[in-house]
Amino acid sequence: MERYWNKTIETMNREQIQALQLEKLRATVQNVYTHVPYYRKKMQEKGIVPEDIKTLDNLSNLPITTKQDLRNTYPFGMFAVPMEDIIRIHASSGTTGKQTVVGYTRRDLDIWAECMARCLVMEDANTSSRVQIAYGYGLFTGGLGAHYGVEKLGATVIPASSGNTQRQITMLIDFGVTHLYCTPSYALNIAEVMREMGHTKDEMKLVAGSFGAEPWSNAIRTEIESLLGLRAHDIYGLSEIMGPAVSHECRHQNGLHIWEDCFIAEITNPDTGEPVREGEAGDLVITTINKEGIPLIRYKTRDICTLNYEPCECGRTHVRMSKPAGRTDDMLIIRGVNVFPSQIESALLSIGEVQPHYQILVDRVNNLDTLTIEIELNDEMFSDNVKGIEEFEKKVSRQINSVLGINAKIHLVEPKSIARSEGKAKRVIDRRNI
Amino acid sequence: MLKQITVFIENKPGRLAEVTGCLADENVNLHALAIADTTDFGILRMIVSNPDKAYRVLKENNFMAQTTDVVAVAVGHNPGSLHKVLRELEALNISIEYMYAFTSRHKDYDAIVILRLTNQDGAVYKLKGNDIPVLGQELLDSLNKT
């Protein structure tokens, strides 16, 4: 039995979706042309006027928007409404440069909560569910974004925010929490601390959880599901587009449904920017068509994935994106080979003994890139003789080489020596100065 | 059979001192120790006065530790005595994975070797049959008290 939050929208057929998207796209393009000088200029440079958008295919004629555009117009230059209508601001962390700022109108927040409520129903949440939000509350969209979706649904929200892990666990148990929201790395941290506190998953009533804000592999999914006794759903979003709930996995866990009444998704070739053939992997590009505060045309997310328009077993018709392998700016180029940290993670966890406590170090020694993977030793890998440990290191190194075609030096480190995550995990330390 | 405490130690300053500190705080005495070292890490092997306590304390302090069965043999502090033991093992086709030795003030057990062997049960049986003393925990604990 599948349930929906908004059955009419979630199950409309392809023709209906496309008709709705075209109508909203034309309105959006007209809106930004009129109200955002930066977009008007960009469109004029390409010789396009809003009236040129006659079909959905015309979308590819519109200019691409990048994070740099948001930086160029920092802080509020891309807003399409006067500040009187903006009732909330969120911002990116700004770790890779100047932070990017987004603003929401009352209607934007309502649509966001609507998208989030649909995601919650996808994972069997209802008014009697108890949802603990262990994403950080604040400028980061994770905490508040999930929060208002739970309130919209009418379930009980526990606004735990991140950190204070022992207290998180006490609440999970004492409050009979059914749904957990946090980053996948923090979910693993919670599971580990739970074991140290002497608690088991049987003391909890968890049914499902939504884990996002960082790329994670199916191996981590298996780990989280078995340690916490829940079904782990991937949730996707980015502040520029809205925040979490741009897309979410249904119970079939076979791709994340993108809410197509709010977003138009395209995949482009990362090198040429041209649209790829259907089913091919490339850059996910999203146009927001149901947004007032900061509508974005063809925003390049830098996430690599594929799109699948096949109808889903769950009955929802909205397109599914594959689990993102990672952002293009997370991609490492090691001696000319493109590697996503998530691929390294999958290869590591395919070796049974390895637990997801690792760190990837990239250096440049004598003009050559070197990759070192630090892995925390555990009882299963430990041996009283050097040969046993070195053989284990070789086994991991061989696995990395056979899967990714690169050489990695494996460095075993002591238990608990790699920092545990309370938010987005820092798995990669790139010490190259390029 | 004797319990050895085996600890993984990363090569960084002060790490070994943290191990000895934990043991000192719990009043655990060290009878013998040896380190197998590589570029990145070392494996510390110890014979201690209270192996169960030592193991527990190290685990509580997040050290990667395990207990490993080893054989302690008193060989006599004179030329050729170790050789005699090794010949016995060779005759049984038993290999030595690693070993280390220490001396004591006890007149009957003044030179002791700790052995990690491929067939420890077979070795102990054979050595005892040849009147070579195989030492247990209690005897080791009493060595330096006489």
Residue-wise over A140-175: b if at least 16 C-beta within 10 A, else e?
bbbbbbbbbbbebbebbbbbbbbeebeebbebbbee
**Alpha-carbon gap, residue A60 to A278, rounded angstroms:** 15
Nearest-CB residue to A413 (from B10, B38, B45):
B10
> Which chain B residue shows the shortest CA-CA distance from A387?
B97
pLDDT digits (tens, 9 = 90+) for A51-94: 999 999 999 999 999 999 999 999 999 999 999 999 999 998 66
Any idea of the CA torsion for B124, B127, B128, B131, to the nearest 10 degrees? -160
Interface contact flag, B36 A414, Cβ < 8 Å = no
Mean pLDDT of chain B: 92
Mutate to test the interface with B, among A410, A414, A416, A418 (most CBs of B within 10 A): A414
Contact A269, A282 (CB under 8 A): yes
> In this structure, what DSSP letter does residue A58 have?
G
Domains defined for chain A, CATH in brackets: 1-328 (3.40.50.12780), 332-430 (3.30.300.30)
pLDDT digits (tens, 9 = 90+) for A350-381: 888 888 899 999 998 888 888 999 999 998 88
Name which of A33, A42, A21 is nearest A80 in CA terms. Answer: A33
Query: Tokens representing B108?
Result: 């009957």
Distance from CA of A224 to the nearest CA of B (A): 23
User: Measured between beta carbons, which residues in chain A are less than 8 angstroms from residue B45?
Assistant: 384
Interface contact flag, A389 B116, Cβ < 8 Å = no
Burial of B136 (0-12, 13-18, 19+ CB in 10 A): exposed
Contact A134, A190 (CB under 8 A): yes
Any idea of the CA torsion for A210, A216, A217, A221, to the nearest 10 degrees? -30
User: Measured between beta carbons, which residues in chain B are less than 8 angstroms from residue A378?
Assistant: 64
Name which of A69, A78, A77 is nearest A97 in CA terms. Answer: A69
Per-residue CA distances from A285 to A38, A63, A267, A416, B74 (Å): 19, 11, 6, 39, 75
Mutate to test the interface with A, among B16, B22, B61, B64 (most CBs of A within 10 A): B64
A391: enclosing H helix or E strand: helix A386-404
pLDDT digits (tens, 9 = 90+) for A383-426: 898 988 999 999 999 999 988 888 899 999 999 989 888 887 88
Distance from CA of B114 to the nearest CA of A (A): 14
State whether residue A123 is helix, strand or coil: coil
Task: Write down the pLDDT at residue A94.
Answer: 63
Distance from CA of A406 to the nearest CA of B (A): 21
Interface contact flag, B45 A384, Cβ < 8 Å = yes
pLDDT digits (tens, 9 = 90+) for A104-138: 999 999 999 999 999 999 999 999 999 999 999 99
Question: In this complex, is the C-beta atom of B45 within 8 Å of any C-beta atom belonging to chain A?
Answer: yes
Burial of A184 (0-12, 13-18, 19+ CB in 10 A): buried
**Alpha-carbon gap, residue A16 to B95, rounded angstroms:** 77
pLDDT > 70: percent of chain B: 98
Per-residue CA distances from A262 to A86, A285, A288, A295, B47 (Å): 19, 14, 6, 11, 68
Amino acid at A194: M
Per-residue CA distances from A237 to A96, A208, A257, B61, B89 (Å): 18, 19, 12, 40, 66
Name which of A15, A5, A48 is nearest A29 in CA terms. Answer: A48
Query: Tokens representing B143?
Result: 């060595």
Residue-wise over A35-45: b if at least 16 C-beta within 10 A, else e?
ebeebeebbee
Say whether pLDDT at A2 is over 80: no
The number of CA neighbours under 13 Å toward the Cβ of B36 is 17
User: Measured between beta carbons, which residues in chain A are less than 8 angstroms from residue B10?
Assistant: 413-414, 417
Nearest-CB residue to B43 (from A384, A415, A417):
A384
Contact A392, A381 (CB under 8 A): yes
Question: In this complex, is the C-beta atom of B130 within 8 Å of any C-beta atom belonging to chain A?
Answer: no
> Which chain B residue shows the shortest CA-CA distance from A196?
B60
pLDDT digits (tens, 9 = 90+) for A277-325: 989 999 999 999 999 999 999 999 989 999 999 999 999 999 999 998 7
> Which chain A residue shows the shortest CA-CA distance from B6?
A384
A-B contacts at Cβ under 8 angstroms? 44
Amino acid at A384: D
Contact A168, A216 (CB under 8 A): no
> In this structure, what DSSP letter does residue A65 have?
B
Nearest-CB residue to B64 (from A382, A386, A390):
A382
Say whether pLDDT at A97 is over 70: no
Comparing B139 with B52, which gets the higher pLDDT?
A: B52
Interface contact flag, B43 A413, Cβ < 8 Å = no
Domains defined for chain B, CATH in brackets: 2-69 (3.30.2130.10), 70-135 (3.30.70.260)
